[in-house]
Amino acid sequence: GDRDGGGFLGLAARTGQTFAQAGISAEGRGLFQVFAPGGASIAVMGQGGPGNAGIFQVANAGGVKATLTTAEGGGGLFQLVSTTGQVTVEAGTLQSGKGHVRVGPFWKCAAVHPATPAMSIGHEDCLVGSLDAK
């Protein structure tokens, strides 16, 4: 298909079941998908997230279970999702360059965003790295 309307090249088994697709979405973004028997998308790689970032997601019949992309500040962002769809582990790099890890799903610390301050004292469900080499 053309870039404005999207288009995909599919790879299918002899049965006609499509197991992989490579193409361009209707928004003009590159996309590669892998499908399970029965047609559910179980892995997606493409453009997504803030700006012109890349994204990789792994799923099962219950939905997306892991995402690797870039955060709004430009650093990396990794999320794991429970069987009920809640993010339970999130690790990323803050705009300051500090690493940040949250374990939940009911964490009390702030999300990984460029303006996130250092974690508040007493919240054991979060870790924030140090930029001090001492």
From start to end of 13-108, where are the E strands?
18-24, 30-35, 41-47, 54-60, 63-70, 76-81, 87-93, 99-103
pTM (predicted TM-score): 0.76
pLDDT for 79 beyond 90: yes
CA distance 57 to 47: 11
pLDDT for 121 beyond 70: no
pLDDT for 102 beyond 60: yes
CA distance 22 to 127: 38
